[in-house]
Amino acid sequence: MCEMNVGQTPSADILVVDDTPANLDVLTRMLEEQGYGARPVPSGALALQCARVQRPDLILLDVSMPDMNGYEVCERLKADEQLKDIPVIFISALNDTEDKIKGFNAGGVDYVTKPFQFEEVKARVETHLRIRRLQNDLEQQYAQIKRLEELKDDLTHMLVHDMAS
């Protein structure tokens, strides 16, 4: 259930979480047509399990699900050190401002209301994947700068030691 369809290498791995099979099918098909790998899962508990087995690049998450709603799933993701940086976009029929604020407070990066237009979903997915890639690049560059600073400090210590001898 946690696997994506095998084919060409996807540009991103997206976990699609919704308890309505028709929604899962539509979103999965639309994402795959855009070159994304989509992993459809029908429950929050399974979404958490699948995210731990294979960390997705992004999660599309329904709010209204039995057993564990999307807000709770998102809160659990954000509490997990290994999963906290995964962007979560809520997709929900709940469209009150209060519902959207609750989604952002749970850790979501965006909120799309149903019925959705796929062009909107596509644009938001692309935007948040781009932001995440830029964050990853920045973190790698920062780590490289820290390594270079350590190397510089080591060289400085060595030079000072050699000059004192």
Name the band, by pLDDT with cuts 50, 70 and 90, for residue 162: confident
Q: What is the pLDDT of residue 9?
A: 61
User: For the segment 20-71, what is each residue's pLDDT rounded down to a tens digit?
Assistant: 999 999 999 999 999 999 999 999 999 999 999 999 999 999 999 999 999 9
- Determine the Cα–Cα distance for residues 50 and 72; give it in Å rounded to an integer: 16
Q: At residue 150, does pLDDT exceed 60?
A: yes
Among residues 57, 65, 53, the alpha carbon closest in space to that of 17 is found at 65
User: For the segment 104-149, what is each residue's pLDDT rounded down to a tens digit?
Assistant: 999 999 999 998 899 999 999 999 999 999 998 898 999 899 999 9
Which DSSP state fits 83? Answer: T
Amino acid 11 reads S
Rounded to the nearest 10°, the torsion over CA 145, 149, 150, 156 is: 160
The encoded tokens of residue 134 equal 């830029």
